[in-house]
Chain A
Amino acid sequence: MKVAVYRKEHFNAAHRLNNPDWDEATNQRVFGKCNNPHFHGHNYELIIKIVGEVDPATGYVMDLKVLGDLTKQHVLNKFDHKNLNEDTEEFKNLNPSAENIAIVIYDLLRDKIDPKFYMQVRLYETERNFVEYPV
């Protein structure tokens, strides 16, 4: 019997949306306020979903403390209180939109989690804007 379990984490980061192939006016038009050259920031809420069979020995799908520790080690340590554009390898050449951040987080965690589990990332950029990957 499959059950979904979730771990919530959060990190605070600065970013800006900018496409270096476009001129300033195009970036302004497409990304609006999010293009501010001095950056802005968010409290990101991250939810990792794991789906799998309940282990009869523990009653767990997966130990959520372990999931929390993996997320802290591989995601939060890189992104918390950082400037995503300037301080991280992952977004040196990738626009740090919520979509791209979710994909990057998935890729950072996927091979740390047993492949028998389905995994999905949900990332809230604000209370009203959130993305999921994969779908």
Chain B
Amino acid sequence: MVYITRVEHFNAAHKLFNPSWSREKNEEVFGKCANENWHGHNFELYVTLKGEPNPDTGFVFDVKRLSVLVNEHVIEKLDHKNLNIDVDFMKGKICSSENLVIGIWNELVPHLPKGVQLHCLKLYETPRIFVEYYGN
């Protein structure tokens, strides 16, 4: 079994905000991240597939094809966007990195060719803050 990773990135605005709480409560829990007028990040997304190398190509999966799929189905929806307003799959969710990585997983999996196993998504919000999701 080999794990292969493609890194993509996108820049987006967001805020952390729970609409069922008061503004004060949001500020108390989310601090600066609750800023009403948004802030933003350079997100880095690590997409890791697992599998056996194909004897004909030596590839687990063509990472260029993986990049095209990730860009078409994920990055185009997120890059230079406001996560809270512009992204259909984040509607009604708190735009934390945790929720975002789960959303990205659910967007991507249906578009991967049969037999391609997504192992892990790792999402960096800043160079020092990242989340991982393994699909369960």
Kindly report which residue of chain A lies nearest to residue B82, judged by CB atoms.
A38
Kindly report which residue of chain B lies nearest to residue A41, judged by CB atoms.
B40
A→B interface (CB under 8 Å): 10, 12-15, 33-34, 36, 38-43, 80-83, 86-87, 126-127
Is B133's CB within 8 Å of the partner chain A? no
B→A interface (CB under 8 Å): 9, 11-14, 32-33, 35, 37-42, 79-82, 85-86, 126-127
> Do B40 and A40 touch (CB < 8 A)?
yes
15 more CB-based (< 8 A) A-B contacts, given A40-B79, A87-B37 = A12-B41, A33-B79, A40-B13, A40-B81, A41-B12, A41-B41, A43-B126, A81-B33, A82-B35, A83-B37, A83-B39, A87-B35, A126-B11, A126-B42, A127-B42
Q: Chain B CB within 10 Å — which of A15, A36, A87 has the most?
A: A36
A108 CA / B5 CA spacing, docked (Å): 42
A4 CA / B79 CA spacing, docked (Å): 37
